[in-house]
Amino acid sequence: ALKRSYSTKAQKHIERPYNYVQPHASYKVAILGAGGGIGQPLALLIKMSPLVSALNLYDIANVKGVAADLSHCNTPSQIADFTGASELANCLKDVNVVVIPAGVPRKPGMTRDDLFNINANIVKTLVEAVADNCPDAFIHIISNPVNSTVPIAAEVLKQKGVYDPKKLFGVTTLDVVRANTFVAQKKNLKLIDVDVPVIGGHAGITILPLLSKTKPSVTFTDEEVEELTVRIQNAGTEVVEAKAGAGSATLSMAYAAARFVESSLRALDGDSDVYECSYIQSELTELPFFASRIKLGKNGVEAVISSELQGLTEYEQKALEALKPELKASIEKGVAFVQKQP
């Protein structure tokens, strides 16, 4: 049974005062793409975590200044910077959690899949280095299209003989963060209490909020369900259009990614009450990768909460069936990308 809203603990952690110190903090985190729009605020939020003792920042450029700047914050973690491929191996040594937001973001008019040609190669190269240098780490993939980049990462890890499906995560936390925010606004609920599971994938109709499973229990009219579902599915595009060519969500993404990192660290630290939604290798449906609520433990995914897929409304059931062909194609595209290479 889920004892409490699975978001609350992680949220509380990242809302702590800047100088909060927990003495047993000892985890090492690396961000690959740390100089970017997500990487920088994410580094700041992770620098504030009491569970982190070392934070390694890697990018192909512009990471030295970010590291110098962050290193002046009087929180426990040590900051180190690594620039370019020749420093990547050192960046990854003894790392417990690797977060990958490297790659290009969307501009108005683009789909996430339009990023495939550039980002597939970036993710493949970075995950090869992870496989060689810290194969036991939890790997958090943010780079889009997540529906394909996670299968790419899995194939790379398989080829390297180090794939542990329990430790590879597509970060879909932003979909949950958005769903919680929009539902709380619409129904006048206290934000910290709201918990909406989001399943499927991370693009358009593959993003499926299960509004009927919202905690605390709340009823929606058919119009509200339609309006909220479409808003959650298009929230990324809402930001891309508002930024008008200057990129996609970075600040809310950093917030969401920091929450997922914090949850992973708490799980590594022995907390037995850590739940998040994530896009993982899954047997929940006939698709090999699928986002759903999971329980996190010391070894990664400890359980998939299958009960949430039971008793769906007719609307959710139809949306689930409708998303499968698109998600399947994105998974197959990612797998083929790695398998077709010599």
Burial-class residue 298 by CB neighbours within 10 Å (0-12, 13-18, 19+): exposed
Q: How far is it between the farthest Cα atoms of the chain?
A: 56
Q: Does residue 106 belong to the site contacting ligand LMR (CB under 6 A)?
A: yes
Binding residues among 41-70 for ligand NAD as defined by CB under 6 A = 59-61
Identify which range of 118-126, 128-136, 185-193, 322-330 contacts ligand NAD by CB under 6 A: 118-126
Site for ligand NAD in 139-178 (CB under 6 A): 142-144, 146, 171, 174
Closer CB to ligand LMR, 92 or 203, in the complex = 203
The residue type of 28 is K
Which member of 253, 304, 323, 327 binds ligand NAD (CB under 6 A)? Answer: 253
Which of ligand LMR, ligand NAD, none does residue 247 bind (CB under 5 to 8 Å by kind)? ligand NAD
**Does residue 150 bind ligand LMR (CB under 6 A)?**
no
Q: How far is the C-alpha of 233 from the C-alpha of 114, rounded, in Å?
A: 17
Q: Under the criterion CB under 6 A, does residue 33 sit at the interface with ligand NAD? A: yes
Nearest-angstrom CA–CA distance, 316 and 244 = 32
- In the complex, residue closest to ligand LMR by CB: 236
Q: How many CA atoms lie within 13 Å of 57's alpha carbon, on the beta-carbon side? A: 28
Candidates 232, 239, 277, 323: give the one binding ligand LMR (CB under 6 A). Answer: 239
Please identify every residue annotated as catalytic: 202
**Which one among 123, 249, 280, 291 touches ligand LMR, defined by CB under 6 A?**
249
Q: What distance in Å separates the CA atoms of residue 127 and residue 129, rounded to the nearest whole number?
A: 5
Instruction: State the amino acid at position 184 in one-letter form.
Output: A
Cis peptide bond N-terminal to 216, omega within 30: yes
One-letter amino acid for residue 55 of the chain: L
CB 328 within 8 A of CB 144: no
Out of 151, 170, 197, 236, point to the residue binding ligand LMR (CB under 6 A): 236
Q: Which residue, 38 or 95, is less far from ligand LMR as judged by CB? A: 38
Asked whether position 144 contacts ligand LMR by CB under 6 A, the answer is yes
Burial class (CB in 10 A: 0-12, 13-18, 19+), 242: exposed
The pattern of x and - marking residues 86 through 105 that bind ligand NAD according to CB under 6 A reads ---------------xxxxx
**Minimum distance between the CB of residue 106 and ligand LMR, rounded to whole angstroms?**
4
267 touches 164 (CB < 8 A): no
Tokens matching residue 125:
């190269």
Q: By C-beta, is 112 or 140 nearer to ligand LMR? A: 112
- Torsions phi, psi for 50 (to 5 deg): -70, -10
Interface residues for ligand LMR in 39-78 (CB under 6 A)?
A: none
Burial state string for 82-95 with b = 16 or more CB within 10 A and e = fewer than 16: bbeeeebeebbeeb
Q: Enumerate residues 203-232 that contact ligand NAD by CB under 6 A.
A: none
Tell whether residue 83 is a contact of ligand NAD (CB under 6 A): no
∠ CA 73-173-320, nearest 5°, is 175
Residues that bind ligand LMR (CB under 6 A): 105-106, 112, 144, 174, 236-237, 239-240, 248-249
Residues that bind ligand NAD (CB under 6 A): 32-33, 35-39, 59-61, 101-106, 115, 119, 122, 125-126, 142-144, 146, 171, 174, 202, 247-250, 253
